[in-house]
């Protein structure tokens, strides 16, 4: 018998890849909740939903996780075995100008879902957290038990709070909560606000790219198929009642090197406009993934040198329809 799963944010980048994977397994009744907001073009999210509908049956609710009443309707009509909660206001920089929106969506929205999980006896809750919770952690690579009490953006603070409230619900209400700290995810359908996608578009169209700082910031860039492998494993995770995992490639790449890789794949030279470092941006992210390897059998395989050409291949076919 098929199991029932709710994927919040399923019309987005990571969510739509997860739903595709679940549909391929043919073992799930998949429900998607997404409010199709305009953080980036809702047309992209609708296109993602269209792609999912062509891959299999999904039940879609256009609902806002900030509103318990509209979520109630979803739970009135379904009994879920698992919730994968990916809906969020994502992005570090916009959170500096709209902190309340981030708190309402990422914290209140998460509590709304946890409350419904409690009420309807959902046993497994997977929460999409972020590497940003580590703030300016000086110890690299970042490990799950490093302190996360100094987030440097509202976005990071909301993700840290989300993890904490997950712990509380698992402690009090017997819901297994698995918090996944994603490290900069990229691949087909990547959010257009993220550097790899944004830079690709600008380089492709011969426009300048804005580089904040001297290009020496480093990121652990994670290919989407690897992230999905980790998310998928966390759905089946049956260990302790609350767990936190880093999901990254465990390799860190300088921004300057990333731009070189994009130039090589796009076959065009970037025009670089240098600007001062941005508040809220961390200097480095670098995942220690030994815990995920051990407990989730997580085994990422796509190095940035292979992943960027794959991304660019998608990007070129998606132009200009998707990357608006
Ligand atoms: N992409 C990354 O590199 C990255 C890194 C770390 C963490 N994350 C986290 O992973 C998750 C997915 O990220 P993504 O890159 O796919 O982003 P995304 O913006 O493409 O997907 C998020 C989806 O959530 C939906 N959503 C937002 N607010 C909502 C609300 N109030 N009600 C219902 N739906 C709402 C959006 O419409 C969107 O489709 C997010 O929680 C994000 O914070 C992503």
* Cβ 11 under 6 angstroms from ligand 1: yes
155 belongs to the catalytic site:
yes
Does 196 reside within a domain? no
Best probe residue, ligand 1, of 12, 103, 246, 248 (max atoms within 8 Å of C-beta): 12
CATH number of the domain encompassing residue 179: 3.40.50.720
Share of the chain above pLDDT 70, in %: 98
* Cβ 17 under 6 angstroms from ligand 1: no
Does 322 reside within a domain? no
Whole-number pLDDT of residue 85: 98
In tens, the pLDDT along 158-191 reads 999 999 999 999 999 999 999 999 999 999 999 9
Domain count, the chain: 1
Does 312 reside within a domain? no
Does 308 reside within a domain? no
Query: Taking the complete model, does pTM exceed 0.95, yes or no?
Result: yes
**Atom nearest to 36 CA in ligand 1:** 37
Bridge partners of residue 8, in order along the sequence: 33, 85
Does 193 reside within a domain? no
* Cβ 223 under 6 angstroms from ligand 1: no
Beta-strand relationship, 253-254 and 218-219: antiparallel
In tens, the pLDDT along 234-257 reads 999 999 999 999 999 999 999 999
* Cα–Cα distance list, 137 to 153, 167, 182, 284 (Å): 14, 22, 16, 8
Does 218 reside within a domain? no
Distance 90 CA to ligand 1 centre (A): 5
Host domain of residue 45: 3-186+223-250+286-300
Q: What is the DSSP letter of 123?
A: -
In tens, the pLDDT along 94-123 reads 999 999 999 999 999 999 999 999 999 999
Does 260 reside within a domain? no
- The residue-averaged pLDDT of 12-33 equals 98
Residue 323 in this model has a pLDDT that exceeds 50 = no
- What gap in Å lies between CA 44 and CA 50, rounded to an integer? 10
Residue in 155, 186, 204, 223 annotated catalytic: 155
């Amino acid at each position: 018998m098929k199991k029932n799963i709710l994927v919040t944010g399923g019309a987005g980048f990571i969510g739509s890849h997860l739903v595709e994977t679940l549909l391929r397994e043919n073992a799930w009744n998949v429900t998607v909740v997404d409010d199709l907001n305009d953080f980036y073009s809702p047309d992209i999210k609708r296109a993602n939903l269209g792609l999912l509908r062509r891959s299999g049956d999904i039940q879609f609710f256009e609902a806002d996780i900030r509103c318990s009443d509209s979520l109630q309707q979803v739970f009135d009509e379904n009994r879920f075995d698992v919730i994968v909660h990916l809906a969020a206001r994502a992005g570090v920089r916009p959170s500096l100008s709209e902190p309340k929106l981030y708190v309402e969506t990422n914290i209140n929205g998460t509590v709304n879902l946890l409350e419904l999980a409690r009420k309807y006896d959902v046993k497994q809750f997977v929460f999409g957290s972020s590497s940003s919770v580590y703030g300016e952690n000086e110890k690299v690579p970042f490990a799950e038990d490093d302190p996360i009490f100094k987030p440097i953006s509202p976005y990071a603070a909301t993700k840290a709070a989300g993890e904490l409230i997950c712990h509380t619900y698992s402690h009090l209400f017997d819901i297994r909560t698995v918090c996944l700290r994603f490290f900069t995810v990229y691949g087909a359908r990547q959010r257009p606000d993220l550097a790899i996608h944004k830079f690709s578009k600008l380089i492709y169209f011969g426009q300048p790219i804005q580089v904040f700082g001297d290009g020496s910031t480093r990121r652990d860039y994670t290919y989407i198929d690897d992230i999905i492998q980790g998310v998928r494993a966390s759905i089946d995770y049956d260990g302790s009642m609350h767990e936190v995992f880093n999901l990254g490639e465990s390799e860190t790449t300088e921004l300057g090197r990333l731009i070189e890789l994009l130039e090589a794949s796009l076959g065009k030279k970037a025009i670089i406009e240098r600007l001062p470092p941005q508040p809220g941006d961390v200097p480095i992210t670098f995942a220690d993934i030994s815990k995920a390897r051990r407990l989730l059998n997580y085994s990422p395989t796509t190095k940035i040198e292979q992943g960027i050409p794959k991304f660019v291949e998608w990007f070129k076919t998606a132009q200009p329809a998707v990357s608006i």
